[in-house]
A and B are shown apart, each in its own frame.
Chain A
Amino acid sequence: ETGVTQSPTHLIKTRGQQVTLRCSSQSGHNTVSWYQQALGQGPQFIFQYYREEENGRGNFPPRFSGLQFPNYSSELNVNALELDDSALYLCASSQVKGQFSYEQYFGPGTRLTVT
Chain B
Amino acid sequence: GNSVTQMEGPVTLSEEAFLTINCTYTATGYPSLFWYVQYPGEGLQLLLKATKADDKGSNKGFEATYRKETTSFHLEKGSVQVSDSAVYFCALSMNRDDKIIFGKGTRLHILP
Contact = CB atoms under 8 A, between A and B. Distances in A.
B99 A45 contact: yes
Nearest to A44: B102
Interface residues of B, number: 20
A94 interface: yes
B56 interface: no
A48 interface: yes
A106 B98 contact: no
Contacts, number: 55
A47 B55 CA distance: 29
A66 interface: no
Q: Which of A45, A48, A56 has the most CB of B within 10 A?
A: A45
B61 interface: no
A45 B100 contact: yes
**What is the size category of the interface that chain A forms with chain B?**
20 to 34
Of the candidates A44, A94, A106, the one having the most CB atoms from chain B within 10 angstroms of its own CB is A106
Contact of A94 (B4, B49, B98, B101): B98
B105 A42 contact: yes
Given A41-B105, A42-B89, A42-B105, A48 B99 contact: yes
B77 interface: no
Given A42-B89, A42-B103, A33 B98 contact: yes
Please provide the 8 A-B residue pairs with the shortest distance between their CB atoms, ordered closest to farther. Answer: A42-B102, A106-B44, A108-B43, A106-B43, A45-B99, A42-B104, A43-B102, A109-B43
